[in-house]
Amino acid sequence: MEGALKTAVMQAGWASRDFLAYAASSLCEGVTSIDIAVTMLGKVKEMTKALSLAMTEGDVLPEPVSSLLRDCLIDMEALSELGDLLLLYESTPVNALHMIEACRYTARRVVGELAVVDHMLRDL
């Protein structure tokens, strides 16, 4: 398997885990910094593009891996869109925390999916 895809999966995992840790901390403290959240979600958006590019430029992947990667990209794009909503719409602190909760849920899915993909890529 190409190194570019493995690297993209690893970097996307780091960005997603970093955001997940931030979201969990924000929710525990009951406060959030929209600027920090949007910056971190911007990194997720960047990694989404890199992962998508690595998928299209690499070898054809076996079905379980390609299907899970597509699901992962959809979740990463959803996470990016939630970040855009945080940035574009002024919300109350309570509503911002609800959005961070939705982001955390989605980030948790992404982290899990990327961990499975990483394991599958090692076996190829």
Identify the DSSP state of 58: S
Rounded CA separation 26/23 (Å): 5
Q: Which pLDDT does position 69 carry in this prediction?
A: 93
Where in the sequence is the domain holding 83, given as residue range(s)? Answer: 3-122
Distances (CA, A) of 7 to 2, 11, 53: 9, 6, 12
Rounded CA separation 48/30 (Å): 28
Does the structure show a pLDDT above 60 at 32? yes
Does the structure show a pLDDT above 60 at 1? no
Distances (CA, A) of 55 to 16, 22, 52, 58, 112: 18, 28, 5, 6, 18
**What are 109's two structure tokens?**
């899915």
Kindly state the average pLDDT of the residues 3-18.
91
Residue type, 6: K
Rounded CA separation 111/116 (Å): 9
Rounded CA separation 48/95 (Å): 26
Q: Per the structure, how many domains does the chain have?
A: 1
- The confidence band for 25, taking pLDDT boundaries of 50, 70 and 90, is confident
* pLDDT digits 0-9 by tens, 76-94: 999 888 888 877 878 788 8
Question: What CATH code is carried by the domain that includes residue 83?
Answer: 1.20.120
Does the structure show a pLDDT above 60 at 10? yes
Rounded CA separation 69/51 (Å): 9
CB 40 within 8 A of CB 18: yes
* pLDDT digits 0-9 by tens, 39-74: 888 888 899 999 999 888 877 888 899 999 999 999
- The confidence band for 99, taking pLDDT boundaries of 50, 70 and 90, is confident
Q: Which pLDDT does position 19 carry in this prediction?
A: 87
Q: Which pLDDT does position 73 carry in this prediction?
A: 94
Identify the DSSP state of 62: P
